[in-house]
Amino acid sequence: MAGRFEGKVALVTGAGSGIGLASSLAFAREGARVVASDVLRDEGEAAARRIAEAGGQARFVPADVTRAAEVESLVRRAVEAFGRLDFAFNNAGMEGPGVPTHEHSEDDWDRVLAANLKGVWLCMSAEIPVMLARGGGAIVNAASALGLVAVPNAAAYCAAKHAVVGLTRAAALDYARSNLRVNAVCPGYIRTPMIDRVIARDPEAEARMHLAEPVGRLGTPEEVAEAVLWLCSDAASFVTGHALAIDGGLVAR
């Protein structure tokens, strides 16, 4: 292992697949002990096993990030397992229903905002006191390129991800003098199970995604994971409050 994060502990939500899984594996590759959390037990346990099989240390802790008690338990169990918390990637989220703004049901709206925005806030609320008590840390929140621009038929998702960018910036200012950095990643169209579900509903969506990406392809979870690790590393020690687009140029149009 390269050892960039040797002796450190990283918490990743939504760790069972996609960007969360890739980031969990990358943290472990760099020597961090990983708390892999997911609402889906089988996927989360599989992520922890993959880390162990690769020679790393991991603990799976199930949690629904929309429930405060479960998030508080997650962070408490992370510290109990490994004695500290240095990094958090608040990645868990979900896509929206893919309908025009006025066709969102109230239930859909609440569910998308809870998973993508409230969950990030609940995670930070539990993580920050632990990090401050140890003298600092680094948090990365999962926003989206759709937190910087918008597309049709995604009002709830765009609203949530724009709000994550604002939340990230506000939190970064709150703790800028406490050695606690807070940043966000804003992935473009990345080949993940979420994108696969969108394509399954609308097979023509993949072609539109390729056209939307100036580089002409979808990104990979591993490409986003590298950005997450960089934001947590000492190489980014002067970076806080930043929303980093990893999007193949999508928002540059």
pLDDT, tens digit (0-9, with 9 covering 90-100), for 55-65: 999 999 999 99
Q: Tell which residue, 74, 167, 158, 72, has the closest CA to residue 118.
A: 167
pLDDT tens digits in sequence order for the chain, 253 residues long: 458 999 999 999 999 999 999 999 999 999 999 999 999 999 999 999 999 999 999 999 999 999 999 999 999 999 999 999 999 999 999 999 989 999 999 999 999 999 999 999 999 999 999 999 999 999 999 999 999 999 999 999 999 999 999 999 999 999 999 999 999 999 999 999 889 988 888 888 899 999 999 999 999 999 999 999 999 999 999 999 999 999 999 999 8
User: Is the Cβ–Cβ distance between 91 and 15 less than 8 Å?
Assistant: yes
In this structure, which long-range contacts are made by residues 40-45, counting pairs with CB atoms below 8 Å and at least 24 apart in sequence?
40/16, 42/16, 43/16, 43/17, 44/15, 44/16
CA 14 vs CA 133, 147, 151: distances in Å: 25, 19, 24
Domain boundaries, the chain: 9-243
pLDDT value for 2:
56
Catalytic residue (one of 87, 157, 175, 189):
157
Query: For the whole model, what pTM was predicted?
Result: 0.96
Is 157 catalytic? The answer is: yes
Q: Tell which residue, 19, 52, 13, 18, has the closest CA to residue 35.
A: 13
Q: Domain 9-243's class?
A: alpha beta
pLDDT value for 148:
98
pLDDT value for 228:
98
pLDDT value for 240:
98
38 vs 145: CA distance, rounded Å: 23
pLDDT value for 198:
86
User: Is the Cβ–Cβ distance between 79 and 85 less than 8 Å?
Assistant: yes
List the beta strands (DSSP E) in 63-130. Answer: 87-90
> What is the C-alpha radius of gyration for the chain, rounded to an integer number of angstroms?
17
Q: Tell which residue, 220, 192, 190, 195, has the closest CA to residue 18.
A: 192
